[in-house]
Structure 1
């Protein structure tokens, strides 16, 4: 499947630009193999039979969802309306039996987390990190300008296609900020507890004052550390301990753990700017894009040559990790 998938991502993205309509019935898709599993969702590689195109399908168990079907439909409609080269598009969504089916392009390079755990357990080189995270910021800038918080930025939700293009994925917990008062006045107060504890901003954990898009900037800073160290801060601790450490301790830094690679002063400064406990003092995605750290960023072909070249396919990596190569069989 990987050869077809390598060619298909650009085709699918191009068709998304002109709003190609993908089927909304389960019999139009052939599920091939499981590519990932979470608490309430399973991701499958599949074929869209009418177009003969590889796709990825997330099956979300509606019985395990903590929100109503109406909320899920509204979120899916929001996802469907997004159109940016650094965001993984939602091609179609529909309910079949007890699952919500969410159809997305199949991204053959897999997640940055999967790549690190297979081949770079001690972290990535700085130019690679800069190249990936610049495009993540571009995606976040687009979302934030539309009043949308991603709420789960981490290496596991950053995908690479065969050409090294970066796609920010998994809007399963993304939410649109509610409008209130006059036109354009956003009520910046979400009080729902979602996201992954290691990457979660302090104000999201506290659930007292609500939070806004600056929670994503904290998660972005934690993801910088994740890519430098090979894991997020406190990653080996239980969730409640992570919450306590995040709330009570000073923010983690690039030097909180020893690294096996050299990192610049600019990267240290960028991490420190993101990981400020007071969200009002965190910079926006737009302003972070101007930071000197990103002067070391390259184009997508750089990632293809320096990160993806020579790697087995995602299913092969998963099987090899299950057999003991790498650390954990995550995608």
Structure 2
């Protein structure tokens, strides 16, 4: 058979293109199909994050992000898929109540037979972790002074809101969970704390605890969070879920923003644990950093308070907000006119 005949013989015999998945690019999603799925911008575990395009109430085009957790993921067992759905349901149950300028906002969420969808703010500048890595690759260790001070204060403001207003402990504060949105005319931008999958209410005074349960398993004795940011008492087997562990993790974030290095780092895990339990960090790195050359003593005072190995002597978020390094900065969300908890979803 000639090449031409072979071509004509195969014309139309190829299989029909697969039907698009509900979360494929170009597909409409939403309660009323008000969003169109765009390009993928991230993935991890059982979820993917994509852009979505929609319209606001004035008919203007809006760009947001959607976190998608499919009901069934290939190569995962039914139990694993069920656990992923429980985890996202738990996170939504907390996240939907949070409303703060330095917390990533959840606009709405909905569930279909295919997946759970979370529509949230789109942050395109990456995380503080990404920013510090980029600076390190360019030979700069740590953020410039005003940037380190601004982002540290914004993160502290988000934690003050969670601890004092909502009575919620985050339990996974880290640079990777601090997203940064920098506009074209914005020197600093704003930080957005995200990922509330490990968060727990400390008591029932928030008015929300009755409908939220912890996902911690009784047979799982490993501490929740990321090792490099874990407080020493958690490494010793403590199951306490109070605010002090967030303050320690905040201290680790501040030290890293200022110096470009973590206060406790080692490639061998048990050595890292020993360093964390000892609580000794390098003040010389703070002194020689860009921010340290401007306000070394004030920064070190904050770090000594946050990285105290005794959780009962560690600073509270109120102590953090009152520190000398933050003098002159205003916590806008502490204003009585700010709407905190209520009606944050569309």
Q: TM-score, normalised by structure 2?
A: 0.66
Which of 254, 265, 285 lines up with 2:297 in the alignment?
Answer: 265
Q: What is the match of residue 276 of structure 1?
A: 308
Distance 1:256 1:71, change over 3 A: same
Partner of 1:170: 195
Establish whether residue 223 from structure 1 lines up as the match of residue 253 from structure 2.
Answer: yes
Taking structure 1 as the reference length, the TM-score comes to 0.69
Deviations 1:185-228 (A, max 9, x none): xxxxx877321111111223333342311111000000011112
SS of the residue aligned with 1:77?
helix
Give distance in 2, aligned partners of 1:105 and 1:225: 28
- Please give the alpha-carbon distance, in whole angstroms, between the structure 2 residues aligned to 1:34 and 1:241: 38
CA distance in 2, matches of 1:46, 1:239: 40
Name the structure 1 match of 2:7: none
Q: Which residue of 2 aligns with 1:285?
A: 317
Can you list the C-alpha shifts for 1:11-30, whole angstroms capped at 9, x where unaligned? xxxxxxxxxxxx74595443
Deviation per CA, 1:112-140: give whole Å up to 9, x if none.
22222223551112221111111111110
Which SS does the other structure have where 2:37 is aligned?
Answer: strand
Mean Cα deviation higher: 209-218 or 120-129: 120-129
Runs of 5+ consecutive residues of structure 2 not aligned to the other structure: 1-28, 72-78, 210-215, 333-346
Q: 1:280 to 1:45 in 2, by over 3 A?
A: same
Choose between structure 1 and 2: higher helix proportion.
Answer: 1
Q: What's the C-alpha RMSD, in Å, of the aligned pairs?
A: 3.4
Are the counterparts in 1 of residues 223 and 239 from structure 2 also a CA contact under 8 Å?
Answer: no
Q: Does 1:138 align with 2:157?
A: yes
The alignment status of 1:245 with 2:275, answered yes or no, reads yes
Match of 2:106, SS state, is: coil
Aligned partner of 2:171 in structure 1 is 151
For structure 1, the 5+ residue unaligned runs are 1-22, 185-189, 301-331
Q: Is the radius of gyration larger for structure 1 or structure 2?
A: 2
Superposed structure 1 runs of 4+ greater than 6 Å apart: none
Residue deviations 1:226-279, cap 9 Å, x none?
Answer: 1123232345625554334323x3342443688553511111111111001111
Alignment length (residue pairs) = 270
TM-superposed CA distance for 1:281, in Å, is 0.8
CA contact (8 A) 1:26 1:96 kept: no
Distance 1:40-1:240 versus aligned 2 partners, 3 A rule: farther
Mapped partners of 1:262, 1:82: distance in 2: 31
Q: 1:245 to 1:154 in 2, by over 3 A?
A: same
Q: SS in structure 2 opposite 1:293?
A: helix
- Secondary structure in 2 matching 1:81: coil
